Amino acid sequence: MKRTLVAVCALAAMALLGVRPLTAGQTSAPARERVNVSEKGPQVGERVPDFSLTDQNGRTRTLQSLMGQRGLMLVFIRSADW
């Protein structure tokens, strides 16, 4: 009884999320839609414009103040608590 309830709940959740269960002979989930990353901001190797921003400690940071001899790598991390 418990396994049946778990299976029914899992199928209901999949239906709500629009996920289809695997059918006999199917080895993987359907392919996801590809994201066009060229529409999502600066690309690898692209120069960013000069900027002046305040960091978490209230200090002003500019592109030049962060740039080192070998350049600068900017990493953007999406966070749920921002």
Q: Which residue segment(s) compose the domain that 80 sits in? A: 43-82
What residues have CB less than 8 Å from 62, skipping those under 6 apart? 50, 51, 52, 53
Conformation bin of residue 46: beta by default, left when phi > 0, alpha when psi is -120 to 50: beta
Condensed to tens digits (0 to 9), the pLDDT of residues 28-61 reads 666 777 777 677 777 777 888 888 989 889 999 9
- How many domains in the chain? 1
Whether residue 12 is contained in a domain is answered as no
Whether residue 69 is contained in a domain is answered as yes
Q: Where are the alpha helices (DSSP H) in the chain?
A: 2-17, 63-66
Condensed to tens digits (0 to 9), the pLDDT of residues 60-75 reads 999 999 998 988 888 7
> What does pTM read for this prediction?
0.41
Whether residue 48 is contained in a domain is answered as yes
Residue with structure tokens 């309830």?
5
d(CA 54, CA 63): 12
Whether residue 2 is contained in a domain is answered as no
